[in-house]
Amino acid sequence: MASAASSTAPVVSKVKGATHGVAPLRAGQGISFVLRRLHSLSGIVPVGAFLFEHILISNSTAITGPDAYARQVSFLANLPLVFFLELFGIWLPILFHALYGFYIWYRGDSNVGEYPWTGNWMYTAQRWTGGIAFIYIVWHTYTMRFTGIDLHAYPNASFGKVQAEVFYTPFFLFYVVGLIAASWHFAYGIWLFSAKWGIVSGEKAQKRFLAVCLGLFLVLTGAGLASLTSFRSRPQQSVEPGTTVTNNQQFSGIR
């Protein structure tokens, strides 16, 4: 590993009155500069935008109930060229952001011991929450999209399929950990992005914006937990092809 922290590790200025925060993105050498910018941007669009939609819009419909959730899944599944939307709008950008994120992590030392400032803990948390979110995302995509009943073909089975997972307590806890990690990573990532691209500058403005980002973290986590509670608190819905949600056999299956 390189001995110095990467160029975007939090910088603590020892000069009195100087602004605390992350180093801005600077023009580096050729391709690495472009990749660094793309990594930063991809965290907001499309990956962050997708996370926002996924937690606050699509999955929140589960709070209303199985019928509303099935309609939302059906709407998404019927978007034109949905496979290519997923491939170029979600999977490849996440893969790029994650792989380059691991590379950034590998290149820069965590300097928590060197600077007694919360920014350095945030720097480390940004890496660990990214890593945890990655493990969660791979598992979640595999189980929901590529195994079991195909929800694009049978959206009515969506509510039941999620329930079958979250009724199993170890998986439910994994959902909670994945939700908190991804929400934190994205919310603090917006702050990092704004500081690096010079959108929010000055110590006061950055502090205020940090509070806004913390608020977003709480909203994302709260909405995600409310959706998970809704799956856990309703009777198990069928996961058979062709079932209508309202005709589901119902039993309580929390394990």
User: Where on the chain is the footprint of ligand HEM (CB under 6 A)?
Assistant: 8, 40, 43-44, 47-48, 51, 97-98, 101-102, 104-105, 126-127, 130-131, 133-134, 182, 185-186, 189-190, 192-193, 196
Q: How far is the CB of 161 from ligand HEM (least distance, A)?
A: 21
Between 123 and 231, CB nearer to ligand HEM = 123
Tokens of 45: 């669009």
Q: How far is the CB of 249 from ligand HEM (least distance, A)?
A: 35
Rg (CA), the chain: 20
Task: Spell out the alpha helix ranges (H) of the chain.
Answer: 30-44, 47-52, 66-77, 82-86, 92-107, 118-145, 158-166, 169-196, 203-233
Between 110 and 229, CB nearer to ligand HEM = 110
Between 47 and 162, CB nearer to ligand HEM = 47
Q: What are phi and psi of 118, to 5 degrees?
A: -55, -30
3-class secondary-structure state, position 251: strand
Q: How far is the CB of 103 from ligand HEM (least distance, A)?
A: 9
Between 154 and 184, CB nearer to ligand HEM = 184
Q: How far is the CB of 241 from ligand HEM (least distance, A)?
A: 31
Q: How far is the CB of 198 from ligand HEM (least distance, A)?
A: 11
What angle (nearest 5°) sits at the alpha carbon of residue 224, between those of residues 218 and 227? 140
Please state, in angstroms and rounded to a whole number, the distance separating the CA atoms of residues 243 and 63.
20
Between 56 and 149, CB nearer to ligand HEM = 56
Task: Centre a 10 Å sphere on the Cβ of residue 206 and count the other Cβ atoms it contains.
Answer: 17
Contact, 97 vs 42, CB < 8 A? yes
